[in-house]
Structures are given as structure tokens and as C-alpha cells.
Amino acid sequence: MKYKLNGPRKDKVKNQRSLKVRLLNQRGARCERCRYNKREILQAHHKDRNTNNNELENLELICPNCHAEEHYLENSWLNDSRYNGGVLRMVRN
């Protein structure tokens, strides 16, 4: 899929970048959860999961690992009881 150069996708990227710069300047270049310090990969997380709510108190600057834990860990298929409470057993042939 192609995006128009001046379309909504470009505006969203600019907005996300400006949010990240504001958070970096305000809070420093570390993950607010684990203190990882690679500013290039930090991401803005919306605490209420509403991506339209860009109030600074709703945003958290976190690393990709913490962001993945926030969004995906609780819903992982590995937590399904059919997989022994999240621990897969090795099967030998």
C-alpha cells in the first residue's frame, strides 16, 4: 500500500516524533520502567491505550521490551492452560 506524501500517515509520523522529542526532553533518555538507555529505540506508550489522547500525563517513554510486555504478555497464547500454564513440554520422537 502506498501513502500520499502529504497524507495522514506522514502527519502521524511527525506527531509521534514530536511527542517522543517532548518526552525525551522532559523525562530523559531512559525507559521509565527498566531504565534502558538507548534513546533511539524508546517508544511513546499511551497508558489508557487511546492513541488520540496525547496528554503528557497519559504518555510513558518505554523501551520495546517493556512495551511488548504491556501489550502482549497478558494475552499470550502461552498463558493458555492447554500449554501447562505457559510452560511448553518438550516432546521426544
92 lies in a domain? no
- What residue numbers bound the domain in which 71 lies? 8-83
90 lies in a domain? no
How many Å apart are CA 78 and CA 59, to the nearest integer?
A: 29
What pLDDT is attached to residue 5?
45
How many Å apart are CA 83 and CA 39, to the nearest integer?
A: 37
All 3 cell numbers of residue 49?
Answer: 491505550
Q: What is the pLDDT of residues 4-55, one digit of tens each?
A: 445 556 677 778 899 999 999 999 999 999 999 999 999 999 999 998 999 9
Under DSSP, the state recorded for 17 is H
Q: Among residues of the chain, what percentage have pLDDT more than 70?
A: 77
29 lies in a domain? yes
- How many other CB atoms sit within 10 Å of the CB of residue 66? 19
What domain count does the chain have?
Answer: 1
1 lies in a domain? no
60 lies in a domain? yes
Rg (CA), the chain: 18
Whole-number Cα distances in Å, 28 to 42, 61, 65: 11, 9, 18
